Amino acid sequence: MPRRWPRPDLDGLLEKQYGLVRRDQVLGGMPDSLTKGALRWRLERGVWQTVLPAVYATHGGPLSREQRAFASLLYAGESAQLTGPTALQLHVVHSAPADDLVHVLIPDRRRLSPARFAAVSRTHRLDPRATTIGRMAVVSPARAVADTVRMVPGLDQNAARTLVVESLQRRLTTLDALQDELRDGPKRGSLLLRAALTEVEQGLRGSPLTRLRELCASNPALPEIRWQPALLGPDGEALPTPDGWIADTAIALEVIAPDQDPSPEAWTRRLRRQQAFTEYGVLVLTFTANELRIDPAAVLATIVRAYLDRARAGVRHAVRVAP
């Protein structure tokens, strides 16, 4: 009976890495590592191709968007993070501009030149809120928006404003997080971002959420309310971001704006948001823009009554605001 060999380690690595491999990986200490001659043979005959310095694709055709992104991370090495339009696309931001480059951040202690489609930027401020999407390190939506506005040439104020508005409307980030990026990020290229944030902030002053904030601030019975915070469950799982959050009694405040998506799919998403909160003992109070405009006193009374009732009951919960 012929001997059955185990699945080669290299094949498993390629499966995890979108069919891409770095030179030190393929010539490394794996049981099925290639020799330099075997690697050169594959490259010379077009079985494999060099896509970035010391980064190879195990096919001869064009790269997908994900392969370009992963290849850039392989090239950039340890601690690298994807940012810019590629990061926005991975966060499914529909207004992300087209860009031939894949922008990658690396620690400022390292030296690495840009190569082909990999645009490498050194930074002393890697994103602590970066996440993993498709086994790739991706900056947070706020950082991706800010870096896109700073990095992509030819972006105008309308495009910058559209990016900011979409990221806020879809609750991918908050205005405070974007303002933090403006304050803490590089000044170069930040003028357009500042103008977009200013314009959006001015437009929000008359918004239903602003009315709710002012309404709650007018009543001394209510404690401090966190607005659009990132929340975590007891297991560390990210929860939906509410418009308002009363922490000690686990009350989430939600506003349905008149221009929100009225489709059945959107209503399903809102229902799932509420179910996610309910599983953790959170009370969700939802108000429409019309309620806030026509009868703000009733809205405030509902919030105050719910808060006092739950405070007297001593509600216990394990939801916390993300650091």
Crossing angle (nearest 10°) for helices 175-184 and 190-204 = 150
Instruction: List the Cα angle 241/86/124 in 5-degree steps.
Output: 80
What number of CA atoms fall less than 13 Å from residue 322's CA on the CB side? 19
- Amino acid at position 4, single letter: R
Long-range pairs, 98-101, Cβ under 8 A, ≥24 = 99/152
Structure tokens at 15: 């499966």
Mean predicted lDDT score pLDDT of the chain? 88
- Neighbouring residues of 254: CB distance < 8 A, sequence distance ≥ 6: 242, 243, 244, 270, 273, 284, 285, 286, 287
pLDDT of residue 4: 40
Instruction: Summarize the confidence of residues 34-42 as an average pLDDT.
Output: 88
Q: What average pLDDT does the segment 12-31 reach? A: 83
Nearest one of 220, 276, 228 to 253, comparing CA atoms: 228
Listed range (8-22, 99-113, 273-287, 302-316) with the worst mean pLDDT: 8-22
Q: So what's the pLDDT on residue 169?
A: 78
Q: Which of 10 and 218 is assigned the larger pLDDT?
A: 218
- Segment (H or E) for 104: strand 102-107
In 17-40, which positions are buried (b, 16+ CB within 10 angstroms) versus exposed (e)? bbbbbbbebbbeeeeeebeeeebe
Is 200 exposed, middle or buried, given 0-12, 13-18 or 19+ CB atoms closer than 10 A? middle
Q: What per-residue confidence (pLDDT) applies to 206? A: 61
Following DSSP, what letter does each residue of 56-81 receive, concatenated?
A: EESSSSPPPHHHHHHHHHHHH-TT-E
Of 160-164, 221-225, 274-278, 312-316, the poorest mean pLDDT is in 274-278
The tokens of 294 are what? 């026509």
**Pairwise CA distance, residues 100 & 119, whole Å:** 10
205: pLDDT strictly greater than 70:
no
Residue 5's pLDDT band (cuts 50, 70, 90): very low
What Rg, from alpha-carbon coordinates, does the chain have? 24
Residue 85: enclosing H or E segment and its boundaries?
helix 84-90
Q: Nearest to residue 181, comparing CAs of 112, 124, 127?
A: 127
- pLDDT the model gives residue 221: 93
* CATH number for the domain whose boundaries are 208-321: 3.40.960.10
What is the pLDDT averaged over residues 16-27?
90
Residue 7, pLDDT > 90, answer no
Name the residue ranges covered by the structural domains of the chain: 9-57, 65-204, 208-321
132-150 tens-digit pLDDT: 999 999 999 999 999 999 9
Residue whose tokens read 């896109």: 148
| CB neighbour list of residue 151: distance below 8 Å, 6 or more residues apart | 83, 84, 103, 119, 121, 189
Residues with Cβ < 8 Å from 152, sequence gap 6 or more? 84, 85, 97, 99
Q: pLDDT tens digit string along 167-193?
A: 987 889 988 899 999 999 988 888 999
**Strand partners for 50:** 56
